[in-house]
């Protein structure tokens, strides 16, 4: 595996039964007014630090955690069971529901340290499914939620249609191997050119420094078990983010989900020039801005 180091944060650990879960924390910049606590949730094929605290020489503000911390946010992320530094000893495939269980343990740990202030949560791809399922189960812990590269029923998802061809392989084992070519394929399968080569290689270095295989559970769920969510039970203000070229997130599927969200304090944002893995795209700063605007928007005074 490649040697990659992370700096400027503090590692934490919590328990889910006999499973140790790794958390990574970057504090708000000194002297900044407190803007909230953000909890970032990673996807199916990478751990938390490569996704949210990536350092790429010559690419300013490559770490979304640092970008938000510089604006007064306390930032946290966590490796789900089976990923990165968290435990991998159980003979399970670490599905979406199990990931939501991880978030229950991880957010409890964070809430003990931030005075119980409800969290601003962001999830991407299967991480968006985990975050939304968690928010259904524990609505009181979430102030706002942002779902990026999200999928509801899977209708219109070209990537999932291709992935279903390998479903028997995913069902037959709890983990699937990954390598550099696989990481590169994340950026070439939908619309080549949306991410620059240096970022893709740095992302691959970071992912492969922690893992050479990933759990199959999220793939199985997204190929065979959708829908996993009832939009009517997602009560928090919600932002749906969709990359223009994302092959996972079918547009009509997301619009149908969006229509059924009960909280009228909701937004849908189409992100131009972006495919999957939005924080690693050329247009990543646009994503940061959209997310920041949503998280800092004042609560409506008049509600009708």
Please, which residues have CB within 8 angstroms of residue 300's CB and are 6 or more apart in sequence?
Answer: 265
* Cα–Cα distance for residue pair 134/153, rounded to 1 Å: 18
The pTM is what?
A: 0.97
Over residues 232-269, the pLDDT tens digits come to 999 999 999 999 999 999 999 999 999 999 999 999 99
Q: Which domains, and CATH codes, for the chain?
A: 10-296 (3.40.50.1820)
Please, which residues have CB within 8 angstroms of residue 248's CB and are 6 or more apart in sequence?
Answer: 125, 149, 151, 157, 159, 160, 276
Cβ–Cβ under 8 Å, residues 37 and 107: no
Q: Which of 193, 199, 210 is nearest to 55 (CA)?
A: 199
Over residues 98-111, the pLDDT tens digits come to 999 999 999 999 99
* Cα–Cα distance for residue pair 54/183, rounded to 1 Å: 14
* Residue 137: C-alpha distances to residues 16, 215, 229 (Å): 16, 23, 11
Report pLDDT for 302.
93
Cβ–Cβ under 8 Å, residues 148 and 125: yes
Helix and strand numbers (H, E) in the chain are 11, 10
Report pLDDT for 206.
97
Report pLDDT for 303.
86
Q: Which of 151, 131, 150 is nearest to 141 (CA)?
A: 131
* Residue 182: C-alpha distances to residues 45, 92, 212, 214 (Å): 9, 23, 11, 12
User: Cβ of 138: how many Cβ atoms within 10 Å?
Assistant: 16
Over residues 188-198, the pLDDT tens digits come to 999 999 999 99
Collect the ranges in the chain with pLDDT lower than 70: 1-3
Report pLDDT for 2.
58
* Cα–Cα distance for residue pair 207/54, rounded to 1 Å: 10
């Amino acid at each position: 595996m490649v040697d990659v180091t992370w700096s400027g944060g503090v590692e934490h650990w919590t328990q889910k039964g006999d499973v140790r879960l790794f958390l990574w924390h970057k504090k708000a910049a000194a002297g900044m007014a407190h803007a909230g606590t953000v909890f970032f949730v990673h996807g199916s094929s990478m751990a938390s630090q490569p996704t949210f605290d990536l350092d790429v020489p010559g690419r300013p503000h490559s770490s979304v955690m640092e970008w938000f911390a510089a604006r007064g946010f306390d930032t946290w992320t966590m490796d789900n069971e089976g990923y990165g530094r968290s435990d991998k000893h159980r003979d399970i495939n670490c599905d979406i529901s199990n990931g939501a269980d991880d978030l229950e343990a991880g957010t409890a740990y964070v809430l003990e340290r931030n005075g119980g202030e409800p969290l601003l949560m962001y999830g991407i791809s299967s991480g968006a499914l985990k975050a939304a399922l968690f928010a259904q189960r524990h609505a009181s812990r979430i102030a706002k939620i942002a779902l990026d590269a999200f999928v509801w029923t899977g209708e219109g998802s070209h990537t999932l249609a291709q992935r279903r061809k390998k479903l028997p392989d995913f069902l037959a084992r709890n983990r699937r191997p990954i390598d550099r070519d696989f990481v590169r394929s994340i950026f070439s399968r939908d619309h080549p050119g949306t991410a620059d080569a240096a970022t893709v290689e740095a992302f691959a270095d970071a992912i492969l420094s922690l893992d050479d295989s990933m759990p199959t559970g999220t793939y199985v769920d997204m190929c065979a078990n959708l829908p996993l969510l009832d939009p009517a039970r997602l009560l928090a203000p919600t932002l749906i983010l969709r990359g223009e070229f994302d092959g996972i997130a079918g547009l009509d599927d997301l619009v149908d989900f969006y229509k059924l969200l009960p909280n009228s304090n909701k937004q849908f944002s189409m992100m131009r020039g972006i495919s999957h893995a939005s924080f690693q795209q050329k247009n990543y700063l646009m994503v940061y801005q959209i997310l920041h605007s949503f998280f800092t928007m004042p609560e409506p005074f008049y509600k009708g």
